[in-house]
């Protein structure tokens, strides 16, 4: 009898891999019954990761979104699953244990069936609590392996991790091939090893289509015994996203597997609705290049989930890097040449910092190191001279054990900065905080919510939740949307050689001034929790190299912007509330 393969629609990741924002709750409610009517999905990925954080960023309550979104699937008997980042929970940096524990209770109460938990370093210690808390809450615990390709990441390496995950009680294993660079035959061997040793463990494969391996990988893992395959659907399939369900269904059917039929009328309706969401506003934040696969990703192995933000970063950094190169008398780079430079630099940096699998947040750390290295070298400065605290925490072992070995120059740089390496259990670095947040909510008169879901949201996304409650988030989003709409109107009408923005050049009175540049895309905030045009520091304000001068509200939270040198501010380019791109000049200092 033919073996059955079931499909999971990765609706959450389809959006995250394409652009910055996700559908509103009213849009999710509209499309959910149509997805049910397609009749081919046993599971739908509904929430988690950046999805819920993004709700806050445009002023929507993520708890309401999750509850309403999962209802139709719960009623239809389709399992829902979320994505969470183990030590980092739903955010980009570590989370206290009590907040992590509450997360699973909240998500189960909201109707989410399966917790897909991954550690970007494949440190099983970070996944132990995720498995424990998920099962205590009554969820299915699906522990994920962060798949990448190197001499270190072998079948034997991954099986050592699997052994611990099964020991901790994981119900399922997911192969999270977040960059789609897992080699098909090797992935087949890994699934075979898992199913041979642990036949009771279900295996699900998740592979992005960016470099082009994932279709072959899906056939190999199916043949090796995987039960579930993650797929996408138009207009958000292929490119940096995932293969389309139509192709994968046809391929597996031809290979002799029992696969569900697709209600094509419902498929076309879901396709139409998704396109409508894009046309309404979401498409303004989707880079067209994310619709294109590229074999250039085979080398650096960057994941599909971050390609949307990375392409926006490159556009922002392009002018800044060329400005530095021109100032140094060097040849400027085209956007394509810069992309290749970045890919090459990622390949150089990755083994130097211990080969962390390139998945959120470690993919962002490695990419940021590479991009900042390019910017530093354009100024005649050495590599690795500008790394943020979160990156150093990864290097120092505070977020888990790195798979590879740190390069001598990285170890020496840590010593020069008087940093200490950590070998203990990462969770021990982050004490419980729920009582603190509960007390503050009581003081502010804020309701902790049904099943303590508002308490959880506040503790998980402190800064974004405050902005959501104050209304600042919605105000900021509408400003950003207005700018995106205006920018879209000018596409194709600008002259071939548009003049450089004068604000990106040094002030006339200070031709040798040093720029303070944006490290991410977002909105400039000169003071926390205040949006007021008079809040920029006065000209002449003294600064110290490395101190926080302002912050940028990025899609994932607030990013500190440090002073590039010790001196004083001589010109403010980005006023309070201005939207900037990575690489834009915020201020000039001498």
| pLDDT tens readout for residues 302-314 | 765 555 556 666 6
| pLDDT tens readout for residues 163-180 | 999 999 999 999 999 989
Tokens (6 digits) for 210:
């960016």
- The end-to-end CA distance of the chain, in Å, is 75
Q: Which range has the worst mean pLDDT, 19-28, 49-58, 370-379? A: 370-379
Average pLDDT for 34-42: 98
Tell me what pLDDT residue 465 has.
96
Tell me what pLDDT residue 496 has.
33
Radius of gyration of the chain (CA): 24
| pLDDT tens readout for residues 287-333 | 887 888 888 788 777 765 555 556 666 666 777 787 777 777 888 87
Give me the residue label for tokens 């370093």.
Answer: 121
Phi-psi region of 39 (alpha: psi -120 to 50; beta: other; left: phi over 0): left
Average pLDDT for 455-479: 93
| Cα–Cα distance measured from residue 402 to residue 353, given in angstroms and rounded to the nearest whole number | 8
Instruction: Return the closest-CA partner of residue 138 out of 110, 174, 119.
Output: 110
pTM: 0.78
Tell me what pLDDT residue 553 has.
81
Tell me what pLDDT residue 49 has.
84
| Cα–Cα distance measured from residue 541 to residue 585, given in angstroms and rounded to the nearest whole number | 17
Tell me what pLDDT residue 527 has.
66
Tell me what pLDDT residue 305 has.
55
Phi-psi region of 365 (alpha: psi -120 to 50; beta: other; left: phi over 0): alpha
| Cα–Cα distance measured from residue 476 to residue 470, given in angstroms and rounded to the nearest whole number | 11
Tell me what pLDDT residue 66 has.
97
Q: Which range has the worst mean pLDDT, 120-129, 174-183, 561-570? A: 561-570
Q: What are the CA-CA distances from residue 88 to residues 181, 361, 390 (Å)?
A: 24, 9, 11
| pLDDT tens readout for residues 364-388 | 888 888 888 888 888 788 899 888 8
Tell me what pLDDT residue 223 has.
98
Average pLDDT for 104-124: 97
Residue 270 has pLDDT above 70, yes or no: yes
Tell me what pLDDT residue 8 has.
98
Tell me what pLDDT residue 129 has.
97
CATH architecture of 503-589: Beta Barrel (2.40)
Q: Are 550 and 561 in contact (CB under 8 A)?
A: yes
Instruction: Please give the order of strands across the beta sheet that includes 579-580.
Output: 557-562, 548-554, 522-525, 579-580
| pLDDT tens readout for residues 396-446 | 999 999 999 999 999 999 999 999 999 899 999 999 999 999 999 999 999
Q: Are 422 and 401 in contact (CB under 8 A)?
A: no
Pairing of strands 522-525, 548-554: antiparallel
- Ranked by mean pLDDT, which of 282-286, 368-372, 489-493 comes out on top? 282-286
Residue 529 has pLDDT above 50, yes or no: no
Average pLDDT for 467-488: 87
Pairing of strands 228-231, 6-9: parallel
Q: What are the sequence ranges of the domains in the chain? A: 434-489, 503-589
Average pLDDT for 255-270: 97
Tell me what pLDDT residue 313 has.
64
Angle between helices 335-352 and 307-327 (to 10 degrees): 100
Give me the residue label for tokens 């949006």.
Answer: 531
pLDDT-derived band at 556, boundaries 50, 70, 90: low
Three-state DSSP string of 485-543 = HHHHHCCCCCCCCCCCCHHHCCCCCCCCCEEEECCCCEEEECCCCCCCCCCCCCCCCEE
Q: Give φ, ψ of 206 to 5 degrees.
A: -125, 110
Looking only at Cα atoms, what is the longest distance across the chain?
80
Return mean pLDDT, the chain: 89
Which SS3 state, helix, strand or coil, does residue 146 take?
strand
Instruction: Return the closest-CA partner of residue 125 out of 153, 94, 150.
Output: 94
For residue 394, with 0-12 CB atoms within 10 Å meaning exposed, 13-18 middle and 19 or more buried, which class applies? buried
Tokens (6 digits) for 396:
């120092």
Residue 528 has pLDDT above 60, yes or no: no
Tell me what pLDDT residue 497 has.
34
């Amino acid at each position: 009898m033919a073996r059955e393969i079931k499909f999971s629609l990765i609706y959450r990741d389809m959006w995250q891999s394409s652009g910055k924002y996700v559908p509103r709750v009213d849009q999710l409610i509209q499309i959910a019954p149509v997805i049910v009517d397609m009749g081919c999905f046993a599971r739908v990925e509904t929430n988690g990761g950046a999805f819920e954080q993004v709700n806050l960023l445009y002023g929507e309550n993520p708890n309401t979104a999750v509850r309403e979104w999962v209802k139709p699937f719960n009623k239809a008997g389709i399992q829902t699953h979320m994505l969470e980042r183990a030590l980092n929970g739903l955010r980009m940096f570590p989370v206290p244990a009590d907040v992590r524990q509450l997360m699973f209770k909240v998500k189960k109460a909201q109707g989410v069936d399966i917790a897909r938990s991954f550690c970007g370093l494949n440190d099983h210690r970070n996944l132990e609590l995720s498995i424990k808390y998920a099962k205590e809450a009554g969820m299915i615990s699906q522990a994920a392996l962060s798949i990448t390709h190197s001499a270190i990441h072998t079948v034997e390496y991954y099986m050592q991790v699997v052994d611990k995950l099964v020991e901790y009680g994981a119900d399922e294993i997911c192969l999270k091939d977040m960059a789609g660079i897992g080699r098909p035959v090797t992935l087949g061997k890994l699934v075979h090893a898992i199913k041979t040793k642990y036949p009771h463990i279900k295996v699900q494969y998740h592979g992005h289509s960016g470099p082009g391996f994932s279709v072959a990988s899906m056939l190999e893992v199916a043949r090796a015994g995987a039960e579930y395959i993650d797929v996408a659907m138009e207009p958000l399939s292929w490119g940096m996203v995932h293969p389309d369900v139509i192709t994968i269904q046809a391929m597996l059917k031809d290979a002799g597997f029992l696969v569900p039929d697709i209600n094509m009328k419902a498929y076309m309706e879901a396709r139409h609705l998704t396109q409508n969401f894009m046309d309404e506003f979401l498409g303004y934040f989707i880079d067209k290049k994310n619709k294109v696969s590229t074999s250039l990703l085979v080398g650096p192995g960057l994941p599909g989930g971050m390609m949307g933000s990375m392409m926006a970063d490159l556009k922002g950094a392009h002018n800044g890097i060329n400005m530095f190169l021109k100032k140094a008398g060097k040849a400027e780079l085209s956007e394509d040449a810069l992309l290749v430079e970045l890919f090459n630099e990622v390949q150089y940096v990755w083994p130097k910092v211990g080969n962390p699998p390139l998945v959120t947040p470690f993919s962002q750390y490695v990419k940021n190191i590479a991009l900042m290295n390019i910017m530093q070298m354009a100024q005649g400065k050495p590599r690795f001279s500008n790394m943020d605290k979160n990156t150093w925490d990864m290097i120092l072992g505070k977020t888990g054990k790195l798979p590879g070995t740190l390069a001598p120059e990285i170890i020496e740089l840590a010593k020069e900065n008087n940093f200490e390496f950590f070998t203990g259990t990462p969770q021990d670095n982050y004490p419980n905080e729920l009582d603190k947040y509960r007390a503050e909510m009581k003081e502010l008169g804020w309701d902790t919510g049904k099943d303590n879901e508002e308490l959880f949201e506040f503790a998980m996304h402190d800064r974004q939740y405050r902005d959501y409650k104050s209304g600042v988030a919605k105000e900021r989003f509408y400003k950003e949307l207005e700018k995106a709409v205006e920018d879209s109107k000018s596409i194709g009408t600008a002259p071939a050689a548009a003049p450089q923005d004068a604000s990106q050049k040094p002030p006339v009175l200070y031709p040798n001034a040093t720029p303070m540049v944006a490290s991410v895309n977002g909105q400039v905030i000169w003071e926390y929790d205040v949006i007021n045009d008079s809040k920029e520091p006065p000209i002449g304000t003294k600064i110290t190299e490395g101190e926080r001068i302002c912050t940028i509200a990025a899609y994932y939270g607030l990013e500190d912007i440090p002073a590039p040198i010790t001196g004083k501010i001589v010109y403010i380019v980005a006023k309070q509330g201005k939207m900037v791109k990575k690489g834009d000049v915020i201020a000039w200092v001498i």
